[in-house]
Amino acid sequence: MGSEAAIRAEGVIYLAELSAFVVATDSSIVALTDGTQHLDGERVLYCAARGGFVGPHGESFDRQGRYVGGPAASDMDLIAIRIEGGLVSIDLHEITLTPGRSAGTVPSPGARCEGSEDPAGFVRTG
């Protein structure tokens, strides 16, 4: 997938062919599926201005994929990640389905990313 240093420098990387995000947090690197946890086939976008993920119906998650608001049924699902010799790899055969919401309770009326209609911070995923 890539080097740990490159991922930390980039912050958030979207792997369209794998429908996955790889995210550097303060303490670790996590890999997340791109589903909204609401309706099948919907994907989240990463919004740099918010420092998290948003979906088309107001689903929102923090940078680690934890539920923040909206109609999502659970946190974003986690993909197994391995770091060996400074190289990061993910294994799509090892996905941890999250059982529910870990935080947040306020529904959000729609996807929000501060800025213009197509802000520079938005990463289109679909």
Tens of pLDDT, residue by residue over 69-110, are 888 888 999 999 999 999 999 998 998 888 778 765 444 444
Tens of pLDDT, residue by residue over 57-72, are 888 899 999 998 888 8
Give the pair of three-digit tokens for residue 114: 């501060």
Count: domains in the chain = 1
Domain span holding position 8: 2-123
Domain harbouring 12, CATH code: 2.102.10.10
Long-range contacts of 10-14 (CB under 8 A, 24+ apart): 11/48, 12/46, 12/48, 12/63, 12/123, 14/46, 14/123, 14/125
